[in-house]
Amino acid sequence: MTTVADVPLARNRNFTLLWVGQGAAEVGFSASMLAFPLVVLAVTGSAAASGLVLAADAVAQAVLALPGGALVDRWDRRRIMLACEVAQAVALASLVAALLLDGVSLLHLAVVAAVLGGCRALFEPAEDALLPSLVPESRLATAVATNSARSSIGQMAGTALGGVLFGVARWAPFLLDLVTHVVAFVMLAFLRAPTRPPAESPALGREIAEGLRWLWQRGEIRVTTACAVALNLFFAAYYLVVVVLAERQGTPAGEIGVMAAMLGVGGVVGAMMAPWLHRRLSPHAAIAGVFWALAALCPLAVLADSGYLLGALFAAMALLAPTANTTIITHQLLLTPDALRGRLSGTLNVAMGGAAAAGPALGGVLAEAATPTAAVLVCAAGMTVAAIAVTVNRTLRYYPREESQCATTSPTES
């Protein structure tokens, strides 16, 4: 593995190029995701069609996640990222042109959404796998936390800009997304990453199975993945239930918007705290802490009588998650051989995508089957059970800090 100079991230040219480029792309992506259902509603008047377009994005990402991770381990990662930026820019350019000419169709919108989702299925594992070669091990945890902050900032800024730009013109949010992908491509073009020698190319299915087998044999990865799935499942359900609770209490739409934005604010502050907390907390405390914080804070939603208070609650709930993510992701990247990091990320994306889809469905069932207060308490009970399981789990109690060196074993070694 090529040695990376141990300099602060702000002076790490490659990391800065990646962070700036992808920070811009996060803004554009969030603007497009806000605009897609609004455009579909304007064109078709159908809420079901809006869901279909967003589903095309999610399904493409889910279907390609496992093969995408395997391809990332087979091909040059920087070139994959460059190709994804080009594909997304071309798709968005076609959509902007169609909207300007008033000739957009539902099929066109769905195809563009599927291209964006499919590109993320390749890009995200490629970026995750490339990161350890851009920063030294001693600064990997800080880099992971900084990327978490980037995502939260991009989501907040992109959502706000998307709403404003859609009010100007239907095509404007997608033009912003197009421009940000061009910026990201330029940043990546100047990035210098280690080249990877051509790897043997067995059948893709065999590569996927090999990666899944290796990951399953690592108890730390199995357990922390289960933790992340549980956390995302219950919180996604809880979020929908709280939105329903706020709406039934007569909370104005503006306050609900502030409530949602405060979740991002908490994520940014938490990401800024994460490197400091990561150094001071044991891995078990960092992981269990976020579960107990959510279990304790969840029931307070029934006492909040305004969107602003619910927003403050959301911000508090988001504070510790970046620390747990930093602890888990840093260790997973260092534990996993470079030749398997793409498959690690692809597999985790499948698991997280399933939780992200099942969580709102669970929340919707709870909101329909019980009163909002009862639904909140059910979510809190589920989080408490998960917190207890995390606390007593032997693997997590002895979860190690980062390895001193990156894993160098071959994919077939156990």
How far is residue 7's CA from residue 40's CA, in Å, rounded to a whole number? 47
pLDDT digits (tens, 9 = 90+) for 75-110: 899 999 999 999 999 999 999 999 999 888 989 999
Average pLDDT, the chain: 86
Choose the CATH number for 211-397 among 1.20.1250.20, 3.30.110.40, 1.10.10.10, 1.10.1740.10: 1.20.1250.20
9-191, what's its fold? Growth Hormone; Chain: A; (1.20.1250)
Per-residue pLDDT for 370 more than 70? yes
pLDDT computed for residue 408 by the predictor:
36
The number of angstroms, rounded, from the C-alpha of 202 to the middle of its chain's C-alpha atoms is 30
pLDDT digits (tens, 9 = 90+) for 299-314: 999 898 888 898 899 9
pLDDT computed for residue 159 by the predictor:
82
* Higher-confidence position of 403 and 229: 229
How far is residue 310's CA from residue 327's CA, in Å, rounded to a whole number? 28
Tokens of 10: 């702000």
Start and end residues for every CATH 1.20.1250.20 domain found in the chain: 9-191, 211-397
pLDDT digits (tens, 9 = 90+) for 264-283: 889 889 988 998 998 899 99
Q: What string of H, E and C letters represents the secondary structure of the chain?
A: CCCCCCCCHHHCHHHHHHHHHHHHHHHHHHHHHHHHHHHHHHHHCCHHHHHHHHHHHHHHHHHHHHHHHHHHHHCCHHHHHHHHHHHHHHHHHHHHHHHHCCCCCHHHHHHHHHHHHHHHHHHHHHHHHHHHHCCCHHHHHHHHHHHHHHHHHHHHHHHHHHHHHHHHCCCHHHHHHHHHHHHHHHHHHHCCCCCCCCCCCCCHHHHHHHHHHHHHCCHHHHHHHHHHHHHHHHHHHHHHHHHHHHHHCCCCHHHHHHHHHHHHHHHHHHHHHHHHHHHHCCHHHHHHHHHHHHHHHHHHHHCCCCHHHHHHHHHHHHCCHHHHHHHHHHHHHHHCCHHHHHHHHHHHHHHHHHHHHHHHHHHHHHHHHCCHHHHHHHHHHHHHHHHHHHHHCHHHHCCCCCCCCCCCCCCCCC
314 within 8 A of 241, measured Cβ to Cβ:
no
pLDDT computed for residue 3 by the predictor:
61
pLDDT computed for residue 414 by the predictor:
31
pLDDT computed for residue 119 by the predictor:
95
The count of other CB atoms within 10 Å of the CB of residue 200 is 6
Percent of the chain clearing pLDDT 90 (strictly above): 38
410 pLDDT band, cuts 50/70/90, is very low
How far is residue 388's CA from residue 179's CA, in Å, rounded to a whole number? 47
Per-residue pLDDT for 180 more than 80? yes
166-170, 232-236, 246-250, 321-325: range with lowest mean pLDDT: 246-250
pLDDT computed for residue 413 by the predictor:
35
Per-residue pLDDT for 403 more than 50? no
Average pLDDT estimate for 178-188:
96
How far is residue 404's CA from residue 145's CA, in Å, rounded to a whole number? 19
pLDDT digits (tens, 9 = 90+) for 196-241: 666 566 788 888 888 889 988 988 889 998 888 888 888 888 888 8
pLDDT digits (tens, 9 = 90+) for 135-148: 988 889 889 989 98
